[in-house]
Amino acid sequence: MRKTTRYPVEGPNPLWHVYRTVPFLKVMKNFIVIQIGRYTPSMRMKNWLYRTFLRMKIGEKTSFALMAMPDVMFPEKITVGRNSVIGYNTTILTHEYLIDEYRLGEVVIGDEVMIGANCTILPGVTIGDRAVVSAGTLVHKDVPPGSFVGGNPMRIIRGTVPH
């Protein structure tokens, strides 16, 4: 089970209450910073933007590919270790709004992790050091260190990746 905190709501679904859960100006600022970062070809500048304005924890030499999308509402709940690669158009979510509740969860991506293109990482997930996530994977549970995973839903393809 993913590590999320559940917040029940009454009445309409939580998206109708969204600005009670996160300030409007924070979302606007985050959206602008993320859009600049998504199109920025400089890894240094992208990491600086994300660390400085979004308060994401990003290790040295980590690369966010073009169009990678950190969570717009709670990016400060994202931690990425050193020398990792976040693939093209990958989305990292730390929130999910459902019908009767919303959930928040940290996303922790270890050191030297390779995440392929077009992945979606759900809230409350930890991806262990040196893991490899195949392109197009829905990461809905923790990924053991050194493993190779893929698919929708995700499954472990190989327990450890050789060096």
pLDDT of residue 157: 95
pLDDT digits (tens, 9 = 90+) for 117-163: 999 999 999 999 999 999 999 999 999 999 999 999 999 999 876 66
- Classify 49 as helix, strand or coil: helix
For residue 149, what are the domain limits?
A: 5-158
Residue 99 located in a structural domain: yes
pLDDT of residue 17: 84
Residue 163 located in a structural domain: no
Residue 105 located in a structural domain: yes
Residues 6+ apart with CB under 8 A from 83: 59, 60, 61, 62, 111, 112
Residue 134 located in a structural domain: yes
Q: Provide the 8-state DSSP code for 65.
A: P
Residue 54 located in a structural domain: yes
Helix ranges restricted to H, 13-96: 18-21, 24-39, 43-54
Across residues 57-70, what is the average pLDDT? Answer: 98
pLDDT of residue 163: 62
Residue 15 located in a structural domain: yes
pLDDT of residue 59: 98
Residue 148 located in a structural domain: yes
Cβ neighbours of 76 (radius 10 Å):
16
pLDDT digits (tens, 9 = 90+) for 78-116: 999 999 999 999 999 999 999 999 999 999 999 999 999
pLDDT of residue 162: 64
In 3D space, the residue among 155, 142, 137 whose CA is nearest the CA of residue 108 turns out to be 142
d(CA 150, CA 32): 31
**Rg (Cα) of the chain, in Å, rounded?**
16
Task: Report the CATH number at residue 37.
Answer: 2.160.10.10
**Number of domain units in the chain:** 1
